[in-house]
Amino acid sequence: MEQLWKSEIDQLAAEFLGQDYRIATYGQTLVTTYHDALNPKYAEQKKDSSIGRKYFAQIVRKVGNKEVNLLTLEFNGIEKRLYVTIDLSFYQVHELVKSDRLNAMLDELDPKIGTFTRTGSFTRNEIERAVLGQALIEMIKPRIRPWIYIGMMLPLEGEFEVSSIIDYLKQTWEQTAAFRQYSLEYSEQSAKAAHIMDLLASVEEAFTATLFGRFYQIQYGVTGNEKSGEREQEFSLKRDGQTIVQGCLLYREYEVRSGSSRPMLAVDVEGHNHTYTNVEALLGEGLKEWRLFKSFRTTNQDNEELKQEAIELLSQHDFEVEQNGYRIGTYNNAARRFEEDVREIKGKLVCAALLFAHVAGRGKFKFLETDATNDSSIVNGDHIDDDSKEIIEYNCTFNFPVIYEAVQNSSLTFAKDLIRDLHLNLTALDDKHFVILSGISGTGKTQLAKLYANAVYGLSYEADNPYLSIIPVRPDWTDGTALFGYYSSFENRYMMTEFLRIILHAHEEREKPHFIVLDEMNLARVEYYLSDYLSGVESHKEVPLHNRNDLDGIPSKINIPPNVYLIGTINVDETTHSISDKVLDRAFVMTLSDVDLETFWSRMDEGIRTGLQSEFTYLKRLHGLLAPNHLHFGYRTMSEMMKKLSSHLVLDAEYQTSRIAMLDQVISEKVLPKLKGDDRIAELLKDLKDLFAEHLGQESISCSHIIRMEKELLRYGATQFWR
């Protein structure tokens, strides 16, 4: 089949594309996977799998850094169908829908040319041409983004003549010419826009900014790899080494939440978009001025006045402004570069976003000194509005592939099995959603809870989620008032709690899931303070709050709605309480003790990985010795150790100690303090002593601690790091 493809189709592709194309086949991969399936070790478990049941080959053309599929021949043994199609992304076709071009292009096709969407790795769903556009529009809110296929589908039965297959290929190639031309033009435009964002992303050198008469440093992180059409680059605003505020630049090939196919550049400050612009505005002929525009769509405020106030602030900081717009720079399309220093361009983008964040306020971020004219609260209303006064629509989905993709696109390290387990534990029951995350400290239990909740709403890990509340548990919680509040006769008012606020809000928006995280929930006795909640969920009866008739906004009783999802995190040590069977029977309990250091290491900044590879290798070896005794450390500990080691290396040479001495110190400060046990750790202590003596030296701090602990273990039968 591959020889057929090569000999017959090369000529067809060359006729239309010249030499700028490539024939891609699935043949070698198919041979490899089929060979694996014949391995006696795997044959039994793979005999009913889909291995070997699909073959495809494609004509692809490279545009920019990406390849565009122009024609695909697929033999699908699962569906028993043969497909000859052109492949288009959801965003490409959605752009045709928005520009009212799709139906006209479809009407030009022969009736035997169909339209399909991918529903799985081996399955496709045919959609009538007349309803394809509407079907794509309906996919926006649930964030379903399938590939669209336009071409021929035939039953995979009997034998096919070579000439017949070639004829199908030629017919589809000719019929889909308009879509192929559009796909190439779209890809070329996207590649040009991506180049502009590459210019900005390549800047990692710190930028000095003067804001409100003070000097600040804007420091950029490493630009992450592209995931689902988006790259992220963090930045921080610093003064005298102190971090003032953090944010990130988002380089988006398309906008997932809205379904827009336009390449967008966003500048976030503390999880809120303060600049959002389509970089395609810079494309065209010759020089293009880059002007951005600020708009506000707040309620109960004069939006025009807010806009003018923001523009005035930009003018005070030497931005070139006119009406509601401000100039960033000039792009030279012929030379494919900015006329100004790209470092200045990027610095201006970030500074503008920081000034907007200062004006927006929200009680979180303000520069130290402000002008009297800047005291009012301004809310950013560019593409995504941030203020709680805004009318913002948060779309949610419990579609696991969508959630998993969002989790994978984060910088955190969690296995697919773990994410799937949490998802099923939270969603398997219709009315009870209670999960307990246990494990050693620093494995990311709270991070996982937040990451999942934000993924449900299509938000990044760093973004604020109004449907998520993380509540630290206090040791003095002894009854249900800690969660549900109480009426204070002394203050003549009801003492509202964050937990009750979420429950009340969940009643107001029953279609939206509300997540509550009880952090370190076993610092107090869980069965004491959580009993009212558990009883309310189990019995579907109302929880009594008060018996007064003069309270507005607080009902006398409240039930637990089914759109409340409760996640508790626990650590097990001498400061915590055990959890009773009453609680355990009503929860799924997950343990997060496995630590994937290799994946964690691969996601750290390249600078750290390059400079501290030997230290990481040694710490990973130490982790391996501790893990069998359940005394190993988590991601938090590893991250903090690596950051200290990295900070040490940037000190002037005269203030540095040796790298081995610094490694010795972080081990004694972050790893050994949790070391304790009885005779069962005798072998571990011996191995640790040998490890430390070999690399750190017998006189090292860590080695001396282990020698002391060995002596205590021999004398008392038990030992611990603390004397």
- The pLDDT score that the predictor gives to residue 31 is 42
3 state SS of 474: coil
The average pLDDT across 494-505 equals 95
- The pLDDT score that the predictor gives to residue 533 is 95
60-75: pLDDT as tens digits = 999 988 889 999 998 8
Asked whether residue 13 carries a pLDDT value surpassing 70, the answer given is no
- 27 falls in which pLDDT band (50, 70, 90)? low
Question: Greater confidence, 371 or 684?
Answer: 684
Report d(CA 350, CA 275) in Å as an integer.
9
121-143: pLDDT as tens digits = 778 999 999 999 999 999 988 88
Neighbours of 475 (CB within 10 A): 13
- The pLDDT score that the predictor gives to residue 50 is 58
Question: Greater confidence, 598 or 132?
Answer: 132
- 599 falls in which pLDDT band (50, 70, 90)? confident
- The pLDDT score that the predictor gives to residue 159 is 82
Q: How far is CA 501 from CA 290, 413, 477, 528, in A?
A: 45, 32, 18, 20
Give me the chain's average pLDDT, please: 85
Report d(CA 483, CA 534) in Å as an integer.
12
CB 156 within 8 A of CB 75: yes
Q: Pick from 360, 354, 196: which is nearest to 280 by CA? A: 196
The average pLDDT across 233-259 equals 81
- The pLDDT score that the predictor gives to residue 506 is 87
97-115: pLDDT as tens digits = 999 999 999 999 999 999 9
The average pLDDT across 689-708 equals 94
478, two tokens: 């002894």
pTM of the model: 0.65
Exposure class string for 220-232: b at 16+ Cβ within 10 A, else e: bbebbebeebbbb
The average pLDDT across 246-272 equals 82
| HEC letters along 505-563 | HHHHCCCCCEEEEEECHHHCCHHHHCHHHHHHHHHCCCEECCCCCCCCCCCCEECCCCC
Question: Greater confidence, 625 or 406?
Answer: 625
3 state SS of 251: strand
- 229 falls in which pLDDT band (50, 70, 90)? confident
484-493: long-range contacts, CB 8 A cutoff, minimum separation 24: 484/532, 484/533, 484/543, 484/545, 484/558, 485/545, 486/546, 487/546, 487/548, 487/551
- 18 falls in which pLDDT band (50, 70, 90)? low
Report d(CA 197, CA 475) in Å as an integer.
50
Asked whether residue 491 carries a pLDDT value surpassing 50, the answer given is yes
